[in-house]
């Protein structure tokens, strides 16, 4: 599909505005999904089917072995089809990040209270139920581990790991897909030659424990080995990188993947997300990426694009970056999706500049462009809901204290774009 074709197919989606009602008390059954009516959305578009063509039911277990290269196995004496990475990605739909929560850090009084240290409330099942009801079908669970490890073995505090698993289960109980990752850290994962041995050691020790804990979980649980691996010099992040960093990162990705695979069971075929340098989707970073020969990996990338509109608080409040987004999705689609590697847009958003209508335009164009390229997206919600003339990174669209959406128009734009 050409970039111009992508642009022509990006239809407009209407937003209803207003605020969602507070979610009711959660029950054992997933809450009903509420999506915009067909009248608020443009006509559906045809997306090339990248998932497996089969008349067989999918195997219930990731561990079910295939008899041949066609991925056909058997459970309870009946033939079934193994899920491919594309089969799993196809179920992700619209996603949401539980940002600035389990990835928060720095509470010296009680590291186990990190969850609320950056200003967000304790996450509840009702929060995740409200997201599911609104139509979100995947949850990215950013997790920082450094405050919760001890000793040479980097042993993860059991209480913290229990909490991560508990929140993951809030979403899994709603049949949502969940991404668990290693998010912020204290510099140990910097992909330099000088730091490579340290980074490999810590990655191996952490992923050995995380993989063991989530080993029984089925395909809806996805691992992301790192967040935005990059080099920091004198407190300044190098977001572009260079050949040395790319080469080291390739080896770190391979080390983390091998550790997960070696844990066996469901982890032998679990979908694993591997990032580019800084999770950047630019030509330079993609050219430096070498993915391992593994059919169950996905490219992990982020895009706050166009930067001047989406991330630069002092930049333009008017969305005019359609051509840039066309090129972005065309690049990811032709280089990866069409060649057999799924791509997951783990973070995207736009910061509030008191420009609601323009943010809706951006959301519908971004979400629809990604959808046409076969790429699921997960909105970065850091819980920052309050715009002011001096605020930055105002990307919250869901009030976790009231279980209501503060930007229902953006939610509607996203939902109709992934239909």
Q: Which residues are catalytic?
A: 228, 347
Rounded to an integer, what distance in angstroms lies between the CA atom of residue 350 and that of residue 308?
Answer: 10
Taking alpha carbons only, the member of 19, 83, 4 closest to residue 50 is 83
Q: Quick one: tokens of 51?
A: 């998932």
Rounded to an integer, what distance in angstroms lies between the CA atom of residue 343 and that of residue 182?
Answer: 18
Rounded to an integer, what distance in angstroms lies between the CA atom of residue 379 and that of residue 381?
Answer: 6
Dmax over Cα atoms in the chain, in whole Å? 64
Peptide bond into 294 cis (omega under 30): no
Bridging pattern class, strands 78-81 and 177-181? unpaired
Q: Quick one: tokens of 288?
A: 């430096």
Enumerate the β-bridge partners of residue 301: 345
Q: What DSSP element (H or E) covers 302?
A: strand 297-302
* Exposure string over 158-174, b if 16+ CB within 10 A, otherwise e: eebbebbbebbebbbbb
Name the residue with tokens 């166009």.
306
Tell me if 419 sits within 8 A of 369, measured CB to CB: no
Name, in order, each residue with C-beta under 8 angstroms of 180's C-beta and a sequence gap of 6 or more: 141, 143, 164, 168, 210, 214, 221, 222, 223, 224
């Amino acid at each position: 599909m050409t970039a111009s074709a992508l642009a022509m197919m990006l239809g407009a989606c209407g937003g209803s505005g207003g605020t969602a009602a507070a979610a009711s008390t959660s029950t054992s059954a997933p809450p009903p999904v509420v999506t915009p009516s067909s009248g608020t959305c443009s006509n559906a578009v045809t997306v090339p089917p990248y998932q497996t063509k089969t008349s067989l039911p999918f195997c219930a277990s990731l561990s079910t072995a295939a008899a041949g290269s066609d991925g056909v196995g058997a459970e309870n004496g009946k033939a079934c089809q193994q899920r491919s990475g594309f089969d799993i990605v196809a179920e992700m739909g619209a996603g949401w990040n539980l940002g600035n929560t389990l990835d928060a850090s720095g509470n010296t009084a009680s590291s186990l209270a990190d969850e609320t240290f950056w200003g967000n409330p304790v996450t509840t099942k009702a929060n995740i139920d409200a997201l599911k009801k609104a139509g979100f079908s995947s949850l990215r669970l950013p997790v920082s581990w450094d405050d919760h490890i001890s000793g040479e073995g980097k042993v993860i505090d059991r209480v913290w790991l229990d909490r991560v698993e508990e929140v993951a289960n809030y979403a899994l109980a709603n049949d949502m897909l969940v991404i668990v990752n290693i998010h912020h850290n204290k510099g140990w994962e910097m992909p330099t030659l000088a730091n490579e041995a340290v980074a490999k050691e810590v990655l191996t020790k952490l992923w050995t424990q995380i993989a063991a804990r989530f080993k029984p979980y089925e395909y809806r649980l996805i691992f992301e080995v790192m967040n935005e691996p990059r080099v920091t010099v004198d407190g300044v992040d190098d977001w572009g990188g260079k050949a040395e960093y790319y080469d080291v990162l390739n080896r770190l990705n391979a080390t983390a993947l091998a550790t997960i695979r070696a844990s066996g069971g469901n982890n032998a075929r679990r979908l694993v997300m591997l990032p580019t340098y800084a999770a950047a989707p630019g030509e330079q970073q993609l050219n430096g990426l070498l993915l391992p020969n593994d059919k169950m990996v996905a490219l992990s990338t982020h895009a706050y694009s166009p930067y001047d509109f989406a991330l630069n608080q002092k930049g333009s409040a008017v969305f005019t970056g359609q051509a840039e987004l066309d090129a972005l999705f065309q690049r990811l689609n032709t280089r990866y999706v069409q060649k057999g590697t799924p791509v997951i847009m783990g973070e995207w958003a736009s910061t509030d500049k008191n420009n609601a209508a323009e943010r809706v335009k951006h959301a519908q164009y971004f979400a629809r462009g990604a959808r046409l390229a076969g790429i699921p997206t997960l909105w970065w919600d850091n819980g920052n809901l309050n715009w002011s003339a001096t605020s930055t990174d105002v990307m919250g669209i869901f009030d976790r204290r009231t279980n209501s959406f503060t930007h229902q128009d953006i939610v509607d734009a996203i939902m109709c774009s992934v239909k």
